[in-house]
Amino acid sequence: MKEAVIAALALVLGASCIARADQVIVLNSDEASYSVLSRGLRTEVNRLPIGREPHHLIPTPDGKELLIASTITNELVALDIVTGERKRTIRGIIDAYQLGFSPDGKWFVAAAYRLDHVDIYRYDGDFKLAGRIFIDGLPSHMAFDSESKTVFVTLQQSGKVVAFDLETQLIKWNTEIGKAPAGIVMLPDGKRLLVALTGEDSIVTMDPKDGSVIGRLKTGRGAHNFWPKGDGRHWFLSNRVEGTVTLIDTQQMQVVATVRIPGGPDCMDITPDGKELWVTQRFLRRVAIVDLATMKVSGSIPTGKSPHGVFILKAPALTPSPVRAASNEPAPK
Amino acid sequence: MMRTVIDLWVGAQTWLFETFVSPVLFALNLMEWFEPAFNAVEFVMLGVFQILVILLVMRVLERRWGVESGDERLIGVDRVYTVLNKLGIIPLLVFVLAYPITQEIEHLVRVMGFTPPSLERLIPGLYDNALLSFLLYFALYDLAAYWLHRAQHRFGWWWALHSLHHSQRRVTVWTDDRNHVLDDLLVNIVLAVFAQFVGVQPTDFVLILIVGRLVESWSHANIDLPSWWLSERLLVGPRFHRLHHARADVADPHVHDHNFAPVLPIWDIMFGTARFGEKYRPTGVDDAEVDADNDRGWLGQQATGFKRFFAALLPRASWTAQRR
């Protein structure tokens, strides 16, 4: 009976085709679709088509839209950030894999992972290409400095992190740091970059001024992607090979908790109340929900094939500061 | 129910990947292949499934209603081809060789601003109809394969390779994978580029391959089953495809140049190459040099195929292709 009620509710919600503020968007990167999940019902209520190979998504600086990037079809689709309604399509953003807005909201950067280039756009609601930098080595994740002058991009194949001046698009520094660097975040003090080494079992700390490596912390095999807990001190890290998510205290630089998430955990988002962490399980075609009070998995929701980016739609009152780079900057609170 | 099947399937795929493949990629610093390797595990699992279908269904039917009898030993080498292909060994080799080429083509066209089209954009409403979308992509892919097959028979150098497939005197459900690796490489490059340009979705692409390959295995079956006028024209079956493998003779020297379609006979009907309702005939080629493949093992056939190919490329071909 309970299942029947849930199914009926899911049908009603699905039929509306409008994702509401308690819902979660998950990109099915191998299916050219995205799933709309209900946080309350803990089920998929709708699956909608999108361009091919959607991997990541990001809110616009004004906090009104959610941009979904489809890498193969070279486009961004903008959804209303509250309702999930489709608003516009921006074409010609080539192979946009990872995405980021600078903290001042004036720069948009897209890393073309397959095509080996980094595109820097001036952003004022529209996208104007300022420069395209071809660079070998699978450009991947990115972070910005707080002055919005520099973007730091990891190169997974060549094992490097490279810093680009946003205004001139010139390279400031280029440092080799280890095997398959992926996730990268700028800590709130502005003096440390954390970089996850997917080809190893560690993260490294870098000085954003010159790219020198100043520390290393063992986390788990396949250290891949960061997500902030929201207190400015703790960050979650997915370890794709080991199948775990670790919680890192960035002041003490130590691992304070680890939770097992099987199936190649990847992108994450945290609920506005800070109680749950949602993690995509790429291989299992599911999203895991971690109860942050107990640091245990409290549920797992089926999605489409290879779920990658995940975003929890927030109510308007909860989105005063939406600026963040996809998957690696502080979540709006 | 469906979700349970998916969970079991991806659970097995994840276990295989995390137990056997992921540690190797991690140790060899090949993490950029993490996702493709996971998909490759699915390809191998589907290959095992296909082998089981061939063994447990198709071979049973073939034994019960077989048409031709003869030297069973001739079939052995085709089993080797099937296992090498279905378990991903030949496809991996082909992928390694083809990847730099297809990647370079993709780089060129996409950096120039070309966006691969998709049927969903051309046909409104297709987004919401997964089955129709799949069928349309399948038909397009099959059309491309039809013309590729014609090219394999049309050009002397390509026939030098493809003749290996036709040399089998005991065509059975195992014969579909009997191809020269260079032939496989050429076909895969063309179809991969075609898929990029037409916009076949990755998920569909795997499904298209598997459905297509099962039908193609079946169409090689040494079997005589009753068929109806309509069914013969809807889907390629053993009767239709066996004529394409029929041994040419003086009375019918171009019998191979008919019934090219891999899955959908409509292409042969549309382009005037279809022949229906004919009697079963012995299979193979009427070229003694190519027919000698039947006395060779896998390695010998591959080596001879290379010889024939290079000979056919020479200005005065020392190997004259008899495209029959």
Tokens 């292909």 correspond to B85
Of A54-63, A98-107, A245-254, B99-108, the range with the lowest mean pLDDT is: B99-108
Closest CA to B22 of A283, A281, A219: A283
Tokens 């020198």 correspond to A212
Q: Note the pLDDT of residue B201.
A: 60
Chain B nearest-CA distance from A178, in A, is: 10
Q: Which residues of A touch B32 (CB under 8 A)?
A: 138, 156-157, 180
Does A31 reach chain B within 8 Å, measured CB to CB? Answer: yes
Residue A181's domain comprises 2-318
Q: Which residues of B touch A284 (CB under 8 A)?
A: 7, 10-11, 14
Q: Which residues of B touch A180 (CB under 8 A)?
A: 29, 31-32
Q: Note the pLDDT of residue A8.
A: 44
pLDDT of residue A315 exceeding 60: no
Is residue A324 included in any domain, yes or no?
A: no
Q: Residue A80 sits in a domain of what CATH number? A: 2.130.10.10
Does A178 reach chain B within 8 Å, measured CB to CB? Answer: no
Q: Which residues of B touch A32 (CB under 8 A)?
A: 201, 203
Q: Which residues of A touch B199 (CB under 8 A)?
A: 52
* pLDDT cut 90: percent of chain B above it: 61
pLDDT of residue B122 exceeding 90: no
Does A141 reach chain B within 8 Å, measured CB to CB? Answer: no
Residue of B1, B3, B26 to mutate, interface with A, max A Cβ within 10 Å: B26
> Mean pLDDT over all residues of chain A?
89
Residue of B19, B28, B35 to mutate, interface with A, max A Cβ within 10 Å: B35
CA nearest to A181 within chain B: B31
pLDDT of residue A100 exceeding 80: yes
First to last CA, chain B: 50
Is residue A325 included in any domain, yes or no?
A: no
DSSP state of B316: S
Is residue A330 included in any domain, yes or no?
A: no
Is residue A308 included in any domain, yes or no?
A: yes
Of A234-238, B1-5, B141-145, the range with the lowest mean pLDDT is: B1-5
pLDDT of residue A61 exceeding 60: yes
Question: Strand, helix or coil at A155?
Answer: strand
Is residue A211 included in any domain, yes or no?
A: yes
What ipTM was predicted for this assembly? 0.85
Q: What's the maximum distance between 2 C-alpha atoms anywhere in chain B? A: 63
Name the more confident of A194 and B125: A194
CA distance A75 to A95: 8
Does A197 reach chain B within 8 Å, measured CB to CB? Answer: no
Q: Which residues of B touch A91 (CB under 8 A)?
A: 115
pLDDT of residue A324 exceeding 70: no
CA distance B187 to A231: 55
* pLDDT cut 70: percent of chain A above it: 88
Chain A, window 268-307: residues with a beta carbon less than 8 angstroms from a chain B beta carbon: 282-285, 302, 305-306
Does A75 reach chain B within 8 Å, measured CB to CB? Answer: yes
Q: Note the pLDDT of residue A19.
A: 43
Joined tokens for residue B7: 């969970």
DSSP state of B56: I
Query: What would you report as the CA-atom Rg of chain A, rounded to the nearest whole angstrom?
Result: 18
Which segments of chain A does DSSP mark as H helices, in order? 2-16
Per-domain residue ranges of chain B: 66-313
Which segments of A157-294 does DSSP mark as H helices, in order? none
Joined tokens for residue B273: 């190459």
What's the pLDDT band for A32 if we cut at 50, 70, 90? confident
pLDDT of residue B319 exceeding 60: no
Does B31 reach chain A within 8 Å, measured CB to CB? Answer: yes
Chain A nearest-CA distance from B12, in A, is: 10
Element (H, E) at B68: none
DSSP state of B55: I
CA nearest to A116 within chain B: B107
What's the pLDDT band for B317 if we cut at 50, 70, 90? low
Which one-letter amino acid corresponds to residue A12? V
CA nearest to A300 within chain B: B7
**To the nearest 5 percent, what fractions of chain B are helix, strand and coil?**
70, 0, 30
What's the pLDDT band for A288 if we cut at 50, 70, 90? very high
Q: Note the pLDDT of residue B200.
A: 66
* pLDDT cut 90: percent of chain A above it: 79
Closest CA to B203 of A170, A47, A178, A261: A47
* β partners of residue A150: A165
Q: How many domains does chain A have?
A: 1
Does A92 reach chain B within 8 Å, measured CB to CB? Answer: yes
Joined tokens for residue B8: 């079991």
Chain B, window 189-208: residues with a beta carbon less than 8 angstroms from a chain A beta carbon: 199, 201-203
Q: How many Cβ pairs closer than 8 A exist between chain A and B?
A: 86
Across residues B74-101, what is the average pLDDT? 92
Question: Strand, helix or coil at A93?
Answer: coil
Closest CA to A185 of A326, A310, A333: A326
CA nearest to A51 within chain B: B118
Does A30 reach chain B within 8 Å, measured CB to CB? Answer: yes
Is residue A333 included in any domain, yes or no?
A: no
pLDDT tens figures, B138-169: 899 899 999 999 999 999 999 999 999 999 99
CA distance A193 to A211: 9
CB distance A30 to A11 below 8 Å? no
Tokens 């502080």 correspond to A330
Name the more confident of B252 and A328: B252
What's the pLDDT band for A14 if we cut at 50, 70, 90? very low
Residue B229 burial class via C-beta count within 10 angstroms: exposed 0-12, middle 13-18, buried 19 and up: exposed
Is residue A62 included in any domain, yes or no?
A: yes
Chain A, window 34-73: residues with a beta carbon less than 8 angstroms from a chain B beta carbon: 49, 51-53, 72-73
